[in-house]
Structure 1
Amino acid sequence: MKDLFGKAILDYQLGNYTEDIKTETSISEEDDLPLPYLFRSFKEMPQLEQKALQLAKGKVLDVGCGAGSHSLYLQDEKKLAVTSVDISPNAIEACKLRGLKDARFLDIMTLENEKFDTILLLMNGAGMCGRLDKLGEFLLKIKSLVAEYGQVLLDSSDIIYMFEDDEEDGGVWIPADKDYYGEVDYIVRYKGETEPAFDWMYIDYNTLKKAAEYNGFTCELILEGEHYDYLAKLTLA
């Protein structure tokens, strides 16, 4: 991996901001992701993220922390102990420069022998497992890291609307090359370079709930957004 996402984050942190990240998926055209958005303050965050941060408590694990904006709010404003992890070494370097006390370059699937009261999977963090057939393994790993009375707070979106037919019958067209309509191939471009496509997934709430309950969680819908997005809380069953 070229770590273009992380390079862009680090560029912004070091004052080398000249252009935004471009993203594209197998079901959507290229779009700009403004780098300043990744460095947003609490007041600039969507309501779902604000609610998750308000609910966070105890020892926190921020999975896929990116530029670390969620972690910084919890560490500096709520005075919580936060461990921030990401598979991007450049993003983690930026997080450390921003003042995060415990930012680690690692894959969440390799983390062991620690327990957390709150685990954050924000900005569609539930989709980082990439494919629906990997969700069970991912949830079991997360489960192994949750303290007895802990919680997992995650957001995602139901993208079924992207397949709706314009005809009056209200039908939907589902691509045959994927096991689940929320699975996409994700591409990142930055400063003339292109990252190889990687697996990503948007998961609807009902599918998440079934998978969570099958793997030993209780799943609760906390908040619904304005565009098919939602915030959910998982606790040990």
Structure 2
Amino acid sequence: MPDPFGRAIRDFHRGEQDEPLLQRDGDLTLDHPIERFYFSSFTVNGEESEWLASRLDGPLLDMGAGAGRHSLYFQERFETVAVEVSDHLVETMRERGVADARRGDMFALREQFGRGRFRSALAIGTQLGLAQSMQGLRKFLGDLAFVTTPDGTAVVDCYDPDHEETEELLGYRDDPTPGLAHRVMHFEYEGDVSDVLLFRLFAPDRLREAAVGTGWTVSEVRYGDDGPHYRAALEKS
């Protein structure tokens, strides 16, 4: 299966990227900012990074870890396991020094890890939307509760469809249901075309609704400086 996304990031890391990684929705096209999203160093030196680090402890599961930006920081402090569905990204993380980078699917956690394996979990990159539905989100949260300890914590992120700037996102699709929307797009790199990606966008209240009965409570929501993007801290209820 073509993996233009993972291959472009690997090529960037190796200094071999000669063409842009493109995000497409029909005739609309954007250059995906690889360096800014995946290769800027994560350090705890401000309010937002301090907030994130304060909610995580080891062992940590970094889901959809990309090029290992967060794992490289946290593995120096406690055990960190980084998972990615892309072999190219797993290879990239290992080359960058991620100690435990492995191929894994954040939407199949019970098949990969035992009960209570992790003290905390992280999913930064809006891949939470790949749950695709409220039912899929509930299942993911239930599985995440299974592989984390009774006092576990997690941080996830998403785009808020109720924010006025969300409809400017490439691939945005409206939904008549309050607090929900879609985002549809694919990636292209050096002639390779990915499968179409369907993201479900959940407003914070929808995330809270999905968490009911899964073992999680949304303890805090924080918006960044970039409009509709938010991060949510989860705690065991």
Class of the TM-score when normalised by the shorter of the 2 chains: 0.7 to 0.9
Q: Aligned equivalents of 1:147 and 1:14: distance in 2?
A: 38
Q: Aligned equivalents of 1:198 and 1:29: distance in 2?
A: 15
Q: Aligned equivalents of 1:228 and 1:44: distance in 2?
A: 23
Matched, 1:145 2:143: no
The one of 123, 133, 142 equivalent to 2:135 is 133
Q: Aligned equivalents of 2:104 and 2:135: distance in 1?
A: 22
**1:209-220 map, 5 Å:** 209-220=208-219
Q: Aligned equivalents of 1:218 and 1:197: distance in 2?
A: 32
Q: Which runs of 5+ in 2 are unaligned?
A: 168-172
Say whether the 8 Å CA contact 1:131–1:199 is kept in structure 2: no
The one of 153, 159, 162 equivalent to 2:161 is 159
Matched, 1:221 2:223: no
Q: Aligned equivalents of 1:223 and 1:150: distance in 2?
A: 19
Q: Percent identity?
A: 25
> In the TM superposition, what is the alpha-carbon distance from 1:236 to its structure 2 partner?
1.5
**Equivalence for 1:14:** 14
Say whether the 8 Å CA contact 1:154–1:232 is kept in structure 2: yes
TM-aligned CA distance change 1:191 to 1:180, over 3 Å: farther
TM-aligned CA distance change 1:50 to 1:195, over 3 Å: farther
TM-score, with structure 1 as normaliser: 0.84
Say whether the 8 Å CA contact 1:53–1:70 is kept in structure 2: no
Stretch moving more, 111-120 or 178-187? 178-187
Q: Which amino acid aligns with 1:149?
A: D
TM-score, with structure 2 as normaliser: 0.84
What's the Cα RMSD here? 2.8
Say whether the 8 Å CA contact 1:59–1:80 is kept in structure 2: yes
Q: Aligned equivalents of 1:2 and 1:221: distance in 2?
A: 38
Number of aligned positions between the proteins: 225
> In the TM superposition, what is the alpha-carbon distance from 1:41 to its structure 2 partner?
0.8
Say whether the 8 Å CA contact 1:13–1:94 is kept in structure 2: yes
Q: Deviations over 1:81-120 (max 9, x none)?
A: 1000010011000000011111111213032215211100
Q: Which amino acid aligns with 1:92?
A: V
**Equivalence for 2:185:** 186
